[in-house]
Structure 1
Amino acid sequence: MSSNYSRLRRAIALTTILTAQLMLTMDFLIVLVALPKIQTELGFTPAGLSWVPNAFALAFGGLLLAGGRLGDIYGQVKAFKIGIAVFVAASLMGGIAGTPFLLILARVLQGAGAALAGPSVLALITTMARDETERNQGLSLFISISSVGASVGLILGGALTDLLSWRWSLLINVPIGAVVLILIGRLVKETEPKPARLDIAGALTATLGSVVLVYAFISAAEHGWTAASTILSFAISAALLVSFFRIEKWAAEPLLDLSLLHSRPRVGGLIVMAIIVGMHFSMLFLIVQYLQQVLGFAPLIAGLAYLPLTATVFTVSPSMPRLIVRFGPRPLLALGGVLVALSFVGFAVLGGNSAYFPAVFVPLVMHAIGVALVFTPGTVAIMEGVPAEHAGAASGLLQMDQQVGGALGLAIIAAVYAGSSVPGQFTVGLGTAFAVAAVISLLATLVAIRTVRPKAPSIGTEVPKPQAAHF
């Protein structure tokens, strides 16, 4: 009886943790379908609207390394509970926000909570497992939950926006998070704290530098590239990011081990990943508005319209390990960048009379194949040759690269669109924005060719991660 009870207790604990992971994974995408409604109700500008997804991504990516370190220092359960509590409170704040400022502030706090709770999810799954079989089962469930987060987030966000209000795409986190908080403290034992110093200066300069850089691009769209606010923002961002690397170089216990950046192929992989994820974020941001504002799709239908994207990635991704062994990551990354660029060429000709099939569907599937060719090979290129003792740091660096790169890419393309758009005519400016996205995507191909090794690396260095949720 007691053995059955223990098994049931572990199953409930694992379900609780995975539910939290699904909630955190969905949060970037669940508001995406609601963006047109949010813009109408709160009065966002076209460029300012990009802060709704970006505020979360920047806070999450910028604070991710610090969140992981805090879990090690003070205990993973404590970090998880505090992170979820902050996330839930911020979700409530965002759900009742009446101004753009309050919603953006809530999204920042959501990202901060996710950065604290997110790294503890994998740690708790690992420590709860009694043997390697349970550990592998837990990791497999973690990857599956993270992957379906894309589809679930878009569909659930569309359904809530259609049937209730866009506010419920945030408020839904409150009851779910409350149940997670109640159960986790009763079911999971605290991990052993590992006293260490927290690199606060590094965390602040990295996060603030990224935020100010994104703000600089948005300021350029709204006030012009030569405006004092734009120039000052770029200068402050550069100073903060340079300070971050100087701090990490001399810190006794840095957030980022700069030795990880001594590898040319790894740096190349990080650049390629950041570019493609950034262009992917920008596609999601603009196409969801096109589907609703031009094609007249309801929010739920707009969410369902992305299913070919997710289905294609899931279909193509399983073949990636074999292709990496045969060809190495470099040609796959290069081809992925070309396909993503070609998809933007297709999106660039969308107009007021275009139909979902084939005008949106075909570029969407091409885009999906491209990002599938980048994600797994890019992960392998980044993780190849990482010593075991630095695997966690490299994993955190990869996740931070994707979140911050995604936010920056979205800010750039949103700024280009806002600078060439006409109020009340959504399709004006789309061609320019997608043309720029195509050129930037080709840059990823050039970086891959110049930096990533041609030979096939060991697949054993690949580390599973939840970033597929964005696809």
Structure 2
Amino acid sequence: MTQLVLVLDATIVNVALPKAQIEFGMTDAERQWVVTAYVLAFGALLLLGGRLADVWGRRRSFLTGMIGFGAASIWGGLSHTSVELISARGFQGAFAALLAPAALSMLTVTFTSGKERARAFAVFGIAAGSAATIGMALGGVLTEFVGWRWCLLVNIVFAVLGVLGALAFMKESKANDHHGIDVWGAIVVTLGFAGLVYGLTLAQSGWASIGTVSFLALGVVLVAVFVVIESKTRYPLLPLRVLRNRTRAGAFIVQAVVGAVYIGSTMFLAFHLQTVLGFSPLVAGVASLPMAVTTMALASLATRQFERFGARYVMAAGLLIAAGGMFYLTQLTVDGSYWAQVFPGLLLIGIGLAFVIVPVQNVGLAGVPWSDAGAASGVVGSSMQLGGSIALAVFMTLFVETGGGYGRGSVAGYAAVYLAAGIVLVAGAILSALLVRRAPDAGSSEWDGENAVDWNQRSSSTEASASSKW
């Protein structure tokens, strides 16, 4: 539920923005900041949120994040000015950065091996993979029938359920061998990610502008400085051992590709349905659902194939199928029908991504030490957010450069975006095949060098001694 609402919130507000802009008299720049404020705070603070979950306690971080997210949603839903709305979205993103890694790391340390772990991560992945399109549909329904403010206020329901569920079922867990936070690392990486994400939002209006180049360069330099800090500090915010494993690194790259597809290209689907085909927001939201429904319907099959064949070839095949769906969408025309030109492509994308999102987070967190679960979960979230931000900036530039606009003459721009998205998916499939190794039991083992090591043995040795090597 947590993963669903956090990803859903990145898209549900998009449907409400036109009416919110009219009510508050927002400029186009202010309207964009309603989206940017959430993504910027979320992406910049994810690594810090993940480490706080490890050190402070995952259940405590989850509760704090859920309560804060609900409160920020109420503020945004009841806001009276554009400044209030943008500020509330920023606070939503900040609390989401605490909430997301706490939820994922809790899953990691609760389901430690076997088919149970594979199925738990399948449910989690399906929630993440379907949330973007569900957000568009739910946003259309709420905006149409009860008002745009309920696109924010609906989070109250999720927050209450989340808090009650955590109090009733979650047990506290944290890294007992870590007693500090890398403050300088936290400051540097937060500013670095903020620079990258903000620079990418500026890139949508010009890659060569001074602002774009300056913020991107600043972000790259600060991330490099962060890596140096992490290699020397006693209690790193992100232990570099999390990234050294080739299979895990491959999973993080695939996660970034998934973010590029969901965050970077779904917005253009909404544009095409509304500006070219003339659908209302409600109908456009419902028309985007086949992708999510197909992904959810195939979750069980994808889980069985993952358990049988391992992640390497299942993810590569899924990415190629999804790429086929993107390539299919390149043949959109102004007078084409939804059922002939859009629906088949959405089905292919939904089928393909079912076989990617089921194993990718499981693989990315397989064998991660108990004490690093939150930090690794932060990397998973950061990969998706940065992948989506980069893709959104690149796709928007491509859309504009190929003659895309906001009317019926924008079809060429959409075709260029879907072609680029398909190429990204093919590249992800190649990297998945090259980097991800297959362990004897992908659900229960750690890829440590060439050998798979049983998680439970590792976990026991870690709890027994803080000096255990991974």
Instruction: Give the TM bin, normalised by the shorter chain.
Output: 0.7 to 0.9
Deviations 1:83-103 (A, max 9, x none): 334323432443356776654
Amino acid corresponding to residue 452 of structure 1 in structure 2: V
Distance in 2 (CA, whole Å) between partners of 1:391 and 1:81 is: 17
Q: Secondary structure at the match of 1:113?
A: helix
Determine the structure 1 residue equivalent to 2:456: none
Structure 1: runs of 5+ lacking an equivalent: 1-17, 463-471
User: Contact conserved, 1:316 with 1:372, CA < 8 A, in 2?
Assistant: yes
* Shift of residue 284, structure 1, vs aligned partner: 1.5
Amino acid corresponding to residue 354 of structure 1 in structure 2: G
Determine the structure 1 residue equivalent to 2:426: 442
Structure 2: runs of 5+ lacking an equivalent: 447-470
Residue 212 in structure 1 maps to residue 191 in structure 2: no
Determine the structure 2 residue equivalent to 1:278: 260
Residue 264 in structure 1 maps to residue 246 in structure 2: yes
How many residues get paired? 437
Residue 349 in structure 1 maps to residue 331 in structure 2: yes
Residue 235 in structure 1 maps to residue 217 in structure 2: yes
From 103, 113, 129, the counterpart of 2:95: 113
- Aligned CA distance change for structure 1 residues 36 and 124 (closer, same or farther; 3 Å): same
Distance in 2 (CA, whole Å) between partners of 1:61 and 1:184 is: 26
Distance in 2 (CA, whole Å) between partners of 1:226 and 1:189 is: 49
Distance in 2 (CA, whole Å) between partners of 1:21 and 1:345 is: 29
Distance in 1 (CA, whole Å) between partners of 2:311 and 2:105 is: 29
* Shift of residue 378, structure 1, vs aligned partner: 2.6
* Percent sequence identity over aligned pairs: 34
Determine the structure 2 residue equivalent to 1:309: 291
* Shift of residue 43, structure 1, vs aligned partner: 5.3
Give the 5 Å matches for 1:361-372.
361-372=343-354
* Shift of residue 310, structure 1, vs aligned partner: 1.6
Q: Secondary structure at the match of 1:31?
A: helix
* Shift of residue 372, structure 1, vs aligned partner: 1.6
Q: Secondary structure at the match of 2:15?
A: coil
- Aligned CA distance change for structure 1 residues 258 and 48 (closer, same or farther; 3 Å): farther
Point out the more displaced range, 440-449 or 28-37.
28-37
Residue 299 in structure 1 maps to residue 272 in structure 2: no
- Could you tell me the TM-score, scaled by structure 1's length? 0.77
Point out the more displaced range, 383-392 or 426-435.
383-392
* Shift of residue 210, structure 1, vs aligned partner: 2.6
* Shift of residue 237, structure 1, vs aligned partner: 1.4
User: Contact conserved, 1:343 with 1:363, CA < 8 A, in 2?
Assistant: yes
Point out the more displaced range, 82-91 or 304-313.
82-91
User: Contact conserved, 1:278 with 1:408, CA < 8 A, in 2?
Assistant: yes
Distance in 1 (CA, whole Å) between partners of 2:212 and 2:179 is: 39
Determine the structure 1 residue equivalent to 2:182: 199
- Aligned CA distance change for structure 1 residues 44 and 140 (closer, same or farther; 3 Å): same
- Could you tell me the TM-score, scaled by structure 2's length? 0.78
- Aligned CA distance change for structure 1 residues 97 and 209 (closer, same or farther; 3 Å): farther
Residue 225 in structure 1 maps to residue 207 in structure 2: yes
Residue 399 in structure 1 maps to residue 360 in structure 2: no
Point out the more displaced range, 370-379 or 71-80.
71-80
Q: Secondary structure at the match of 1:459?
A: coil
* Shift of residue 268, structure 1, vs aligned partner: 1.9
- Aligned CA distance change for structure 1 residues 171 and 207 (closer, same or farther; 3 Å): same
User: Contact conserved, 2:196 with 2:216, CA < 8 A, in 1?
Assistant: yes
From 53, 56, 75, the counterpart of 2:38: 56
